[in-house]
Amino acid sequence: MADSDDSDIVDIEGLTITYRTVYGNLVSLNSVDFKVKRGESVSIVGESGSGKSTLGLAIVRLLAPNASYSSGRIMLDGHDVTKLSNRQVSLLRGTTAFMIFQDPLNTLNPVKRVDVQMLEAIRSRLKQEGQPFNEESAYKEAVDRLNDVRMPDADSIITRYPHQLSGGQIQRVVIAMGLLMRPKLMIADEPTSALDVTVQAQVLELLRDLQRNYQMSIIFITHDINVAHSISERMVVMYAGEVIEASPTESLVKNGLHPYSQALIASIPTISKSEGKLTAIAGSPPDMISPPNGCRFHPRCPHVMQVCTVQSPRTTVKDGSEVRCFLYG
Amino acid sequence: MVDVLVKTQKLKKYFRAGKSGLLDKILRQLPPLVKAVDDVNLEIGKGEVVALVGESGCGKTTFGRLLTTLETPTEGEIYFDGRQVTKSDQKAVRRKVQMVFQNPYESLDPRQSVKGIVTEPLSKMGISKVEKDAQFEKVMSAVGLDQNFGERRPRDLSGGQRQRVAVARSIVSNPEFIALDEPTSALDASVQSQVLNLLVGLREEYNFSYLVITHNIAVARYISDRVATMYAGQIVELGPTGEVLKDPKHPYTQALLKSVPSLDTKKIEPPHGEVPSLINLPSGCRFHTRCPFVMEKCKTEDPSMRRVGNVDVACWLF
Ligand SMILES: Nc1ncnc2c1ncn2[C@@H]1O[C@H](COP(=O)(O)OP(=O)(O)OP(=O)(O)O)[C@@H](O)[C@H]1O
Ligand SMILES: Nc1ncnc2c1ncn2[C@@H]1O[C@H](COP(=O)(O)OP(=O)(O)OP(=O)(O)O)[C@@H](O)[C@H]1O
Ligand code: SF4
Ligand code: SF4
Ligand SMILES: [Mg+2]
Ligand SMILES: [Mg+2]
C-alpha cells in the first residue's frame, strides 16, 4: 500500500494483546483504538502497569515473546504491522518508526562502545536511503547529535561503554540515536525520566523543533503530566489496559472528563505545596489477570453507579474529547 | 542538634574514562580523569532526609554509591555512626545501608523471582520462614503490589512495578540508611504519592535516614528536611528545604527551579550556555560559564561555602 501523506501515521483499531504467564493470561491491552496524525505529538499517560509500554512496543512489533496479538489491527504508515513478515517489519523500524525503550539499555548494547553503536545506526540509515557510508562524516554527525542533546564532553562520552555513563547520559545517547535515524514517527517511552529539569527542558524543545520543522510525529509515553502538557497537542489516558480518555491537552489538564483522569491530575504534587500527606487515588490498582467487571475503574471511582459494576462503558465524544464513562452517555 | 549518622569529609571520586589516542600511548598518557565527585562535605542526621538535586551527570549517583560503600573514594573520608568507614569494616556497614538504583532493570536479578529478590537482604539475618513471609507481605502491600507478584520474574513487570520491587527490597531489612536514586521516576503521580507516603511513614516509625536523589523538585519538596544542590561534582547550596526552594540563593539553584515544567505555563526557561565538562572543569566558579551574574572574580577564584542565614552557599554574591 502507498504511504499516502494524508493517512494517519498510526491507526490502531480494536487491539487486544495478551501475555501468557504461569499464573494465567494477562490481557494487557483490551480493544484499544488509537490514532496519530502525521506531524502530531500525542502523549500517553496513565497508571503504572496500565499498558502504555505494551502499546508502544506493539506498534513496532517488539513485544516480549510471551505476548500475542489476540485481535485488532495496527496500521503504521499504511502497513498492517500484524501481517508483515519479520523482514518487512525490521525495515520499518528505525527510519519509519524509532522506539526509545523505557529501559535505555534495551537500545544500547552494554559491551559495545557508544561510537561503534552510533556508527552502526548511521550505516543502517544510509543503507536504507541508498547512500554511501563515510566513516569520518558519520563520526562527525554522531558527535553533533550528542551535542544537540546537550551532552557535555561528547568527545569523551562517545568513546565510553554504557556503564561508564550516568543515567541521564545513557538516556541522551539513546535520544541521539533516535535523532540519527530521522524517523517519521518517534515513540519515546519515558525518555526524560533520568534527566534533570534543565536538560529535560532543552530536550523537549529539540523534539518540538523536529516535529515542527520535519513533520515528525511523536508518541510520548510518560507518567509526568507536566511533561506531557509541554510536549503534546493531544493526550491519551490509559487505565487497566484500556484507553479511557483522549482529549486535547489543554482541556484534559484543565477539565479532564473521566473520573480517573481527574484523580490523576489532582494527585500531582507541586513545588509550592508540601503540607500533609500527598494524595494517592484510594483503593488498589486492578488485578490485570482478573480485572473488575463493568467499568474497570468502578471499585475506586467516587461517582460509581449501579450500571458501572455490570456493563462496560462505550466511547462517547464530548466537546472534542473521547471518553469512556457512563457519566457522559 | 540530632546525632549525625553519615558524614563525608572532602570526599572525592575520580574515574578514568575512554580510550587514549595513539599519541597518548606513545607518550604513556592515561585516559582523561572524570571528576565525578570533587570535594564534598555533607552530614546526614539520624532520622533525617536529605534530597540531592542537580544537573544530569554532575555526580549524584556516584555520591550515593560512595555513601553505601559500593564505590571506594579516591580521596577523603566517610563516617558512619561516628566511625570512619575503612576497607575492613565495609562489610559491617553494608548490612545497615541499602541503595535503590536509578535503573531498576539493571539491579534486579532476572533469574530470581520477585519474592527471592525482595527477601534476599533477610537471607543472612537468621529469620524464620514465617517471619520472612510476613515481612514480604508487609512491604509488598506497602508499595502497592499484589501478593501474586511474588512468583513473577522481573521481565514480566512494567517499569513502575520494577521500581517498586526495588524500593520494597531496600526497606525489607530495616536498614538505618537508604540512598534512593530517583526512586519514583517511573511512577505515575498517584503511585508516587503512595511510595513517598510510605517512606515518610517509615522514617517516622523507625527513624531511618535517607539520601533521596531526584530531579523532581516536587518530590524533594515533599520528602526532605534539607536539600543539597549539586553542580559539576560539588555541592553549591545546602539548606532547609522550604527555604532553599522558596528563596534559592545560588544562581544554579535558581535556574533549576525556573526549568520545572508546570501545568500553568508551557514556557520554561532553562539556563543558557554549555553544560560543564567534568574533564576540563571551568576555572573559578564552575557555573561561571552560564551564570547571569558572573563577575570578573568568578572566572578565576573558586568560591567556598559561606553561611547565609540557615543556608550554606558557594557563590561570590554572598
Ligand atoms: N512480558 C510480560 N509478561 C507478563 N506480564 C507482563 C509482561 N510485560 C508486561 N506485563 C504486564 O502487563 C501490564 C502492562 O505492562 P506495561 O509495561 O505495558 O505497563 P506500563 O503502563 O508501561 O507501566 P509503567 O508505567 O509502570 O511502565 C502490567 O500489569 C505488567 O505487569
Ligand atoms: N565508571 C565510570 N567511568 C567513567 N566515568 C564515569 C563512570 N561512572 C560515572 N562516570 C561519569 O561521572 C559523572 C558523574 O556520574 P553520575 O552517574 O554520578 O551522575 P549523576 O549525577 O547521577 O547523573 P544522572 O542524573 O544523569 O544520573 C558523569 O559525567 C559520568 O559520565
Ligand atoms: S463508568 Fe462509572 S465507575 Fe467508571 S469512571 Fe464512569 S462513573 Fe466511574
Ligand atoms: S560565584 Fe559568580 S559565577 Fe559563580 S554562581 Fe556566583 S555569581 Fe555566578
Ligand atoms: Mg512502561
Ligand atoms: Mg544518576
How far apart are the C-alpha atoms of B285 and B250, rounded to whole Å? 11
**DSSP letters of A51-112?**
SHHHHHHHHTT---TTEEEEEEEEEETTEEGGGS-HHHHHHHBTTTEEEE-SSGGGTS-TTS
Residues within 5 A (CB) of ion ligand 5 = A 53, 102; B 158-159
Strands A24-36 and A41-46: unpaired
Query: Of the candidates A167, A200, A269, which has its C-beta nearest B61's C-beta?
Result: A167
Atom of ligand 4 nearest to the CA of B293: 7
Give the closest ligand to the alpha carbon of residue A48.
1
Q: What's the whole-number mean pLDDT along residues B37-53?
A: 94
Residue B283 lies in a domain: no
**DSSP letters of A228-255?**
HHHH-SEEEEEETTEEEEEEEHHHHHHH
Q: What is the pLDDT of residue B259?
A: 82
Q: In terms of Cα–Cα distance, which of B184, B170, B263 is closest to B220?
A: B184
The residue written with cell numbers 514480566 in the block is B156
DSSP letter for B234, please.
Answer: E
Nearest CA to ligand 2 atom 1: A164
Q: What's the whole-number mean pLDDT along residues A218-232?
A: 92
pLDDT greater than 90 at residue B263: no
CATH number of domain containing B164: 3.40.50.300
pLDDT greater than 50 at residue B64: yes
Size of interface A-B (CB pairs under 8 A): 210
Q: Is B20 on the interface with A (CB under 8 A)?
A: no
Q: What's the whole-number mean pLDDT along residues B195-221?
A: 89
Q: Nine-digit cell at B78?
A: 566517610
How far apart are the C-alpha atoms of A187 and A205, rounded to whole Å? 16
DSSP letter for B146, please.
Answer: -
Q: Which domain holds residue B54?
A: 4-19+32-250
Instruction: Classify domain A1-86+183-281 by CATH architecture.
Output: 3-Layer(aba) Sandwich (3.40)
How far apart are the C-alpha atoms of A133 and A136, rounded to whole Å? 9
Domain boundaries, chain A: 1-86+183-281, 105-182
Q: What is the pLDDT of residue A1?
A: 45
Nearest CA to ligand 2 atom 5: A164
Atom of ligand 2 nearest to the CA of A167: 27
The residue among B157, B187, B190 with the most chain A CBs within 10 A of its CB, best to mutate, is B190
Q: In terms of Cα–Cα distance, which of B194, B142, B160, B198 is closest to A279?
A: B194
Q: What's the whole-number mean pLDDT along residues B208-237?
A: 93
Ligand 1 centre to CA of A273 (Å) is: 32
Q: What is the pLDDT of residue A275?
A: 58
Q: What is the pLDDT of residue A21?
A: 87
Out of A25-34, A198-207, B25-34, B308-317, least confident range: B25-34
Q: What is the pLDDT of residue A273?
A: 55
Q: What is the ipTM of this complex?
A: 0.87
- Residue A287: pLDDT band (50, 70, 90) is confident
The residue written with cell numbers 533549576 in the block is B256
Q: In terms of Cα–Cα distance, which of A163, A154, A178, A157 is closest to A111?
A: A163
Residue B269 lies in a domain: no
Q: Is B21 on the interface with A (CB under 8 A)?
A: no
pLDDT greater than 90 at residue B142: no
Q: What angle do CA A223, A226, A230 make, to 5 degrees?
A: 115
Answer whether A140 contacts ligand 3 (Cβ < 6 A): no
**B231 forms bridges with which residues in the sheet?**
B234
pLDDT greater than 90 at residue B145: no
Q: What is the pLDDT of residue B264?
A: 73
Q: Nine-digit cell at B155?
A: 521481565
Q: What is the pLDDT of residue B28?
A: 64
What are φ and ψ of residue B210, in 5° steps? -130, 145
- Residue B32: pLDDT band (50, 70, 90) is confident
Based on the number of CB atoms within 10 Å of its own CB, is B94 exposed (0-12), middle (13-18) or buried (19 or more)? middle
Report residue A176 CA to chain centroid gap: 17
Residue B246 lies in a domain: yes
pLDDT greater than 50 at residue A269: yes
Which amino acid belongs to residue A206? L
Q: What's the whole-number mean pLDDT along residues A149-164?
A: 89
Q: In chain B, how many domains are there?
A: 1
pLDDT greater than 50 at residue A311: yes
User: Tens of pLDDT along B124-135?
Assistant: 778 888 989 999
Q: What is the pLDDT of residue A2?
A: 45
The residue among A48, A102, A166 with the most chain B CBs within 10 A of its CB, best to mutate, is A48
Report residue A329 CA to chain centroid gap: 29
Residue B280 lies in a domain: no
Q: What is the pLDDT of residue B280?
A: 84
Q: What is the pLDDT of residue A3?
A: 47
pLDDT greater than 90 at residue B79: yes
Say yes or no for a CB contact (<8 Å) between A285 and B274. no
